Structure formats: structure tokens, C-alpha cells
Amino acid sequence: AATIVAEAGAPLQMVQDAADAAGLLFGVDIGARGTATVGGNVATNAGGIRVLRYGMYRAQVLGLEAVLADGSVLTSLKGLPKDNSGYDLNQLFIGSEGTLGVVTRACLRLHPKPATEVNAFCAVPSLDAAIALLAQLRQKLGPLLSAYDVNFAPLYGAMIAGMEAPAPLPVGSPVYVLAEIQGSESDRDGDRFAAALMQAVEDDVIDDVVVSQSPREFRALWAVREEANRFLFSIAGLISVDVSIPLAKMATFLRETEAAIKAVDPSADIYVFGHLGDGNLHYQVRTVDPAAAYGIIYRGVAAAGGGVSAEHGIGLDKKEWLHLVRSDAEIAAMRRLKAAFDPNNILNAGRIFDLAPG
């Protein structure tokens, strides 16, 4: 049935390996695959690099087992793609950050393993060009396009300076894109991808591009993407946010947010990368005034009609900003749901929002 049942403590990579051994694919992949657990992924509705093709973690969940605050156990592990027998209680626990129940097992959807996996690393002249390239690849490749990540200057130059492997493209472009296809027709998919990229070069949407020609080169290009995390984690005092921005507002958000941060701290370093295909940016700042930077970023997100958490949840750190992107009525409804499922407030208390007195 192309499903797998995993306990909450199983690392994501274990699920991926089990799927691979069965000739299948699990649709979610994130850099922390070796340590991130199924329970945590469910609790935060994890996203990652292939949301463009497979959707968020929510789209992979066919059923859950969860323990409620009163000790009762809800089990729905049938793996049915269609089941409208009353409320879908599984959805309540996905993304609820452990505040409504403790997920203990999950029945997850698997996908056919691709016969073709090819990626390309592109230098493009602007964010507008990156968005135009995304539109072109979607139009020409359809569901073949499985990932579309972006890396803005100066991050690319800073991170490859300390990278052992050679850089795939020279430093100097304002924006770099990593695009990936996964397909089932190995004799055609790569040619279609190459033709779409060549057309983008002729249209001056791409300045320079390198395309993987082997599994080793495919992994090497993804290693460049993951090098961003290694570089950023090495910077002490860096603030990091995970936000979602509508593509139509992204250029304005980036321009105005950087200007506002630099006005407060002209020496601030700003590093941005993310999953452009789904509007998810990881925005990092090294600054002498972190509090001001957080406020500027999150107010900018709200002004752009975005979300203060794209895939990492609210937790404790972001709950003071939740009201910027959720209405009073929405937060009140969340509180009523929390009170109904956990009247004594014993499950991950204080996360996402504080319960109103009484």
C-alpha cells in the first residue's frame, strides 16, 4: 500500500532508509534528517526541501496514534487515503507542537522512487529572474520539478570561502538557485530539464549554470546547499528566523527589511537562503541589537502578508509575534481547543500562546 508505520522516536533518516530499501521514497527531507524524529516532524508539520513536489509533513500523514492529556489513546493507523468517517482528528495534532496530545506512532504515505534525479546550480541576475525561472520550469516541467532553493549574496561567497570542495560557480552573482527534478523516464527527463535551462539562458534569465551528470555530482550540488547550515551554525550570536513570504511581496520585504536593520546597525551582517518554490526564507542576522532586528523582520513579514513561522513552529520564542499574523478570533479559537483537550495545561505548557486566566 506504499505506507510505513513509524514510532515517534524514529529519526527521519530511518524512515527514508526503510522506504528506500522497499523501492520507495519518503517525500520529506530536511538537513537534520539524522536527528529529527517522526514525532517532532509531526508536531511541527516539518517542510524541508521538497515541499514543492510532495507537500508539507501534513500531506504525508495517513493516520496517527496519540495520547491525550487524560491518558486516553486515539489510534488511527489504517492508512486509508480516503476516510471521511467523522472529524479527521489526526489533523489536530499535526503542527500543534505537542500542546494537544503526545503523538506515539504515525502511518506515513510513501511515493514511487524516481528513476531520474538531476539538479542544476544556477547564477541569476536578480530575485525577479529567480522567480521568472521558477515559473518557466514549472510551466515546462510540471511535476518533474521537485525542489527549488535560493541563496542570496553575500551568503554564497562567505560560505564557499571555507568549503573544502570547489565552488560549482564563481562568486559575484546576487542570487543563486538550486533546482532539482525527479522523474520516471530516465531517457527523457534529463533532456527536458536541460532544454528548459538552455531556454532560460537564451532568455537572459540565467547567467551561468552547472548541471549534475552523475549521482556523485548530484550529491555534491546538494552538499553546497547544506554548507549554508554549517557556515551559519559557526557564527556566534547569529539570530535566525524561518518565515514565509508571498512571492509577489518578497523583493519589497527583502529590500525594506535590510534597510531598516542597517539603519539601526550599519555593521549588521545579513544572510538569506531558503525554499523559494514555497516562499520559505531562512533569514539570519548578526547584529549588536538582536531585539530590534527581530521586531523589524517580523513586522515586515506581517506587512507582506506572510507567516512568522514557515516550518519550525512557534514554541516559546515566537509566541510574542503570533498576534501579528493571526487574528484575535483565531488565537481565541486555538485557546478554546487547547482548553478542551488539555484543561489542566500539562502538555507543553506555554508553547504557541499562553492560556488566558480562567
**Percent share of the chain, pLDDT over 90:** 91
Predicted confidence (pLDDT) at residue 96 exceeds the cutoff of 70: yes
State if pTM tops 0.85.
Answer: yes
What was the pLDDT predicted at 358?
56
Predicted confidence (pLDDT) at residue 284 exceeds the cutoff of 70: yes
What was the pLDDT predicted at 205?
97
Q: Tell me how far the alpha carbon of residue 73 is from its chain's centroid.
A: 30
Question: What is the spatial distance between Cα 189 and Cα 166, in angstroms, rounded to a whole number?
Answer: 27
Which whole number is the average pLDDT over 310-326?
Answer: 94
What was the pLDDT predicted at 161?
87
Domain with CATH 3.30.465.10 in the chain: 3-112
Q: What is the mean pLDDT of the chain?
A: 95
Q: Please check whether the domain covering 235-324 is classified as CATH 3.30.70.2740.
A: yes
User: What stretches of the chain adopt beta strand conformation (E)?
Assistant: 3-7, 24-25, 61-67, 73-75, 102-109, 111-112, 116-124, 145-152, 175-183, 208-211, 239-244, 269-275, 280-286
Q: Which CATH number fits domain 116-229: 3.90.550.10, 3.30.1490.20, 3.30.200.20, 3.30.70.2190?
A: 3.30.70.2190
Any idea which residue has 571555507 for its cell? 162
Instruction: Give the gyration radius of the chain's Cα atoms.
Output: 21
Predicted confidence (pLDDT) at residue 154 exceeds the cutoff of 70: yes
C-alpha grid cell for residue 109? 504515505
Predicted confidence (pLDDT) at residue 90 exceeds the cutoff of 70: yes
Domain with CATH 3.30.70.2740 in the chain: 235-324
Predicted confidence (pLDDT) per residue in 224-263, tens digit: 998 998 899 899 999 999 999 999 999 999 999 999 999 9
Predicted confidence (pLDDT) at residue 163 exceeds the cutoff of 90: no
Which whole number is the average pLDDT over 144-164?
Answer: 93
Predicted confidence (pLDDT) at residue 209 exceeds the cutoff of 90: yes
Which whole number is the average pLDDT over 157-183?
Answer: 93
DSSP string of 156-220, one letter each residue: HHHHHTT-SSPPSS-S--SEEEEEEEEES-TTTHHHHHHHHHHHHHHTTS-SEEEE--SHHHHHH
CATH class of 3-112: alpha beta
Domain with CATH 3.30.70.2190 in the chain: 116-229
Q: Binning pLDDT at 50, 70 and 90, where does residue 125 land?
A: very high
What was the pLDDT predicted at 357?
65
Question: What is the spatial distance between Cα 101 and Cα 356, in angstroms, rounded to a whole number?
Answer: 20
Burial (0-12, 13-18, 19+ Cβ within 10 Å), 304: buried
Question: What is the spatial distance between Cα 338 and Cα 302, in angstroms, rounded to a whole number?
Answer: 25
